[in-house]
Structure 1
Amino acid sequence: MMIVQQEYYIKGLSYSIRSAEEKDAEALSSLRVQIDGETENMDREEGEAYIDATGFRRIIHLDTEKSRNLFLVAVVAGEVVGYSRCEGTVLKRFCHKVEFGVCVVREFWGHGIGKNLLEKSIEWADQTGVEKMTLNVLAFNEKAIELYQKSGFEIEGILKKDRRHTDGQYHDTIVMGRFRD
């Protein structure tokens, strides 16, 4: 699915949010590795489960065609600095919902990019009849949990010791869901 590009100016930064295009594939491949190395909040360690440009082109192409998928990018001065995806399924028992994920380069945290990617995704979900959005977030990521709750997500459960990071420490994952009004 595609959305119309939207422009933002927050805390001195101009950026746009738009649907991912196949021309973004190379940048997304590098960006994903970079973001995975910048934060413990992602599912992967840096370079793990690598997706090359061809893989991203395939994902973008499929997400553009599928009515239950949405792939957005945030762009600053022509460079992709973040992205989000909503991914649905064709399985009849689960076709009422999509799973949401978002990531932004650390340098651009604090400019509302993640929040606006989330808001555009919620707007799309509500307009297309998605009944439920789900996401997973690390229990120690309080800022993200607060943002999700302000956006209508509720905590549905906690997965205890769900992840083990490189330092050997286990971390809980919070499962959240948002139902369409």
Structure 2
Amino acid sequence: MSEDIDVTIREALPEDAQQIVQVSQTIGKQTEFLVMDEFGMNLPVGLLENQLETIYNSQAQLLLVAVVEAEIVGTASVRTSEEKRIDHIGEVGISLLKDYWGMGLGSTLLEELIDWAQQTNQIRRLELTVQKQNKRAIHLYKKYGFQTEAVMKRGARGDDGRFLDVLLMSKMIDE
């Protein structure tokens, strides 16, 4: 990482639910690059605790947290479907507090997700959507072998109401 910060990357635990909700709300206020807004995940903490337990015990889903000085500063996830015909596809999501952008933490999280996906023997495709205006994220994804498959016109709406194009990007795990 380009900055000297002491960060721990680990799987999210049910007891992280409150902090994850708070961080998601902060991130939602800091950037319009993500689907979530100032309400963040907008989940009751108890429900998120249950979901975190399920994810932690899953062989095909992962939620990582980046922790600095006992505070969660970001998350990275791979979600899969329970539908047999598409359970080989992992949907990637990464979000970081703005203070931690540009430090290499996104790269570290993405590497962890890719390594984990390669070891699952189930996930053969990773995919994500990213706003076309999010140049830093697009650069990161391309650096790790993601390719643009489609441009979704008006795929999101900015905070000011303007429509934004969104890219669908993917990476094949076994190629």
TM-score, with length taken from structure 2? 0.94
Query: Could you tell me which residue of structure 2 aligns to residue 169 of structure 1?
Result: 162
Change (3 A) 1:138 1:123: same
Of the three residues 33, 36, 42, the one matched with 1:41 is 33
Pairwise CA distance, 1:16: 0.8
CA contact (8 A) 1:163 1:171 kept: yes
Q: Which amino acid aligns with 1:44?
A: M
**Secondary structure, aligned partner of 2:84:** coil
The one-character-per-residue Cα deviations of 1:33-84 (angstroms, maximum 9, x if unpaired) are 0100000111022116512321221221111122110010000011100001
2:78 to 83, 86, 106: 86
1:69 to 61, 69, 82: 61
Counterpart among 125, 137, 141 of residue 117 in structure 2: 125
- Distance in 1, matches of 2:40 and 2:145, equals 32
CA RMSD of aligned residues (A): 1.3
Pairing 1:46-65 to 2, within 5 Å after superposition: 46-47=38-39, 50-65=42-57
Q: How many aligned residue pairs are there?
A: 173
Alpha carbons 1:28, 1:53 under 8 Å: kept = no
1:36 is paired with a residue whose SS is helix
Would the aligned equivalents of 1:19 and 1:71 in 2 still touch at CA under 8 Å? yes
Identity %: 30
Counterparts of 2:140 and 2:152 in 1: how far apart (Å)? Answer: 20
Whether 2:130 is the aligned partner of 1:137: answer yes
- Aligned counterpart, 1:4: none
Deviation, structure 1 residue 90: 1.8
Residue 109 of structure 1: aligned partner: 101
What amino acid does structure 1 have at the position aligned with 2:88? Answer: H
Any stretches of 5+ residues in structure 2 without a counterpart? none
